[in-house]
Amino acid sequence: GQQVMQIPQYQHVQEGEDFTTYCNSSTTLSNIQWYKQRPGGHPVFLIQLVKSGEVKKQKRLTFQFGEAKKNSSLHITATQTTDVGTYFCAGPSGSSNTGKLIFGQGTTLQVKP
Amino acid sequence: GAGVSQSPSNKVTEKGKDVELRCDPISGHTALYWYRQSLGQGLEFLIYFQGNSAPDKSGLPSDRFSAERTGGSVSTLTIQRTQQEDSAVYLCASSLAPPTQYFGPGTRLTVL
């Protein structure tokens, strides 16, 4: 079946270092979304990418959607302790835009001050 | 309301008992989703309601799990004869239009 995979599963960085998480889908996606879940919290929507090769920035966060629309990445520049959490990518299930999402397993980021 | 709400926030039950988890979506949101998140794991899709259409139940792990949505708003997820492996955080999300989903705080279920 359709799968969305993320690597790495865990990442520990020193505050100020950069961080990247990668998301790969077994199928071509019409769009990809990223969510952040703080420890003890619930997932919060960050962004959606739709176009092939699209790059979007939110302050120190850079999101990229691959040319083939099967992979995506999230890069954080100069991490801060507020970046701690688990980052999930998610893509639509199947070919119809029903809203049903397949989530990756997430990348948990720890930042050492 | 301001966001998706879920109740209870925590539920401890004994193996074999039935439990009901409630979700109040954002007012006006037509789509509602239930997910399960085990400790340190990703989100496992359970069920999806969209308007008056038949729900997508493809993620329900067994026939002990069921959900309904009354009046296109509040939803209840019911787990019958709970098992220890049902212990997890159950998250509800709603959306006005695909694909952005807004999550509630979750219900942490512990089956002893």
Give me the residue label for tokens 């199947």: A94
d(CA A12, CA A15): 10
- Model confidence at B70, pLDDT cuts 50, 70, 90, reads confident
Residue A88 is nearest to which of B43, B98, B102, comparing CB atoms? B43
Q: Is residue B40 pLDDT above 80, yes or no? A: no
| End-to-end CA gap in chain B | 34
Question: Do the beta carbons of residue A60 and residue A51 sit within 8 Å?
Answer: no
pLDDT for the residue A98: 64
User: What are the angstrom distances between the C-alpha of A101 and each of A104, A109, B15, B21, B82?
Assistant: 10, 22, 31, 21, 26
| Integer Rg of chain A from CA | 14
> pLDDT tens digit string along A13-49?
999 999 999 999 999 999 999 999 999 899 999 999 9
Distance CA B97, CA A112 (A): 38
pLDDT digits (tens, 9 = 90+) for A68-108: 999 999 999 999 999 999 999 999 887 656 678 899 999 99
Q: What share of chain A is helix, strand, coil (3-state, %, to 5)?
A: 5, 55, 45
B23 reaches A (C-beta below 8 A): no
pLDDT at B47: 94
Query: Does residue B51 surpass a pLDDT of 70?
Result: yes
pLDDT at site A17: 98
B45 touches chain A (CB under 8 A): yes
Quick one: tokens of B102?
């807004």
Q: What is the mean pLDDT of residues B83-111?
A: 92
The answer to whether residues A86 and A37 touch, using CB atoms and an 8 Å cutoff, is yes
Distance, in Å, from the CA atom of A84 to the CA atom of B100, rounded to the nearest integer, reads 22
pLDDT band at B64 (very low <50, low <70, confident <90, very high): very high
Q: What pLDDT band is residue B2 in, cutting at 50, 70 and 90? A: confident
CA distance, residue B104 to nearest chain A CA (Å): 7
B56 contacts in A (CB within 8 Å)? Answer: 98, 100
Contact at CB, A97 and B31, closer than 8 angstroms: no
B108 touches chain A (CB under 8 A): no
The three-class DSSP label of residue A104 is coil
**Helix residue ranges per DSSP H, A1-113:** none
